[in-house]
Amino acid sequence: MWRSVLGASLATAVLLVLTPLARGATLSVANNGVDAPGCGAKASPCRSISQAIANAAAGDAIVVGPGRYGAGIDTPAPGCGCVLAVNKAVAVASRDGAAATVIAGNEAPALQNVLIVAVGAAFGKPGKGFTITNTASPSGGHGIVIDGAGVTVVGNQLVRIGEGYVPAFGIWALSTSTGIRIEGNQVIGWPTGIGAFGTDTTVRKNVSVLNGLGIQLLSTAAAVGNVAAANAVGIELYDGSTAIGNATLGNTFAGVSAQTGLGVIEKNNFLGNACGVRHQTSNVAAVLDASPNYWGAASGPGSAPADPACSLFGAPITVAPFATKPFGAKVRIKP
């Protein structure tokens, strides 16, 4: 009896191993495609990403060929205030990478270019992302806005086009978002490059350059292994947020600007910033712990070649023990 039961169990196990797991469909989008309710096959791709999303089911993958998408091509979802809405749990990626695949929103009046609201949606992959522009909205103009849970945004290039200041974000995870991963993106020329305001959000191995604020974190968000260079402020921290293993380089106001009540600020490189860390609180009794970090010289914070530790209102900063050599904070982006 035991032999027959064991044999049946083994047979069932073998059958389970040999049975392929159910996978979602793959829909294609191309500049020579034609939008229709049935488009998406390789031989008959859709023209717009929005049509492919409309035709897709949760768990499907959408592969987008090189070229231009966005304003004038994609049809926004009703009420989204966006150019492209990812409102299904699909994985959207480009075939040839961000350098050749553009979602242009700079001629659209919408508040944001790409809005991601579906739980578990994925936008981009390493080397398979998109170039995303701002929109023409005078009160927004954000590149990617995340308002959902479990969303990943990976491998994209966010480029702001045009002059004039609006309070726009390259990538913005709203306070309503949870469990977000923003990784391996390059963000250039925004008032705020990346804003992560939701809980359990990780901003990891991104490059944020030539922005007002490179990375701005609230709540329990963490910045890990990013490069923030040539911004006004490299990384701005509030409300328990954390900065670990980042490189802040040549930022004109501060590498890290911080309030009290934070998580850790450690294993970061501060090189060529006006201040390695700037303590922003007006509570002069509040101590900011900024150890251990590398301040640009083996002797710790100070005058050039080191970065100074600065306090706006005179509140103390703990810097010892400090690192005597740089940490290995390097990011290689493949747009």
**CA distance readout (Å), 117 to 160, 171, 213:** 22, 14, 25
Residue type, 147: D
- The pLDDT value recorded for residue 21 is 34
Domain layout of the chain by residue ranges: 68-318
Instruction: Say whether 59 sits in a helix, a strand or coil.
Output: coil
321: which residues sit within 8 A by CB, 6+ positions away? 291, 292
Sheet holding 26-29, edge to edge: 26-29, 61-64, 91-94, 122-123, 152-154, 181-183, 202-204, 222-224, 242-244, 265-266
Tokens of 197: 């305001």
Which range scores top for mean pLDDT: 63-77, 157-171, 248-262? 63-77
- The pLDDT value recorded for residue 290 is 93
Instruction: For the chain, give the mean pLDDT.
Output: 90
Is residue 266's pLDDT more than 50?
A: yes
Q: Give the C-alpha separation, 152 to 57, whole Å.
A: 18
Structure confidence at residue 165 as a pLDDT band (50, 70, 90): low
Structure confidence at residue 333 as a pLDDT band (50, 70, 90): confident
Least confident piece of the model among 200-214, 228-242, 320-334: 320-334
Nearest to 168 by CA among 196, 142, 197: 142
Cβ–Cβ < 8 Å for 331, 225: yes
- The pLDDT value recorded for residue 260 is 67
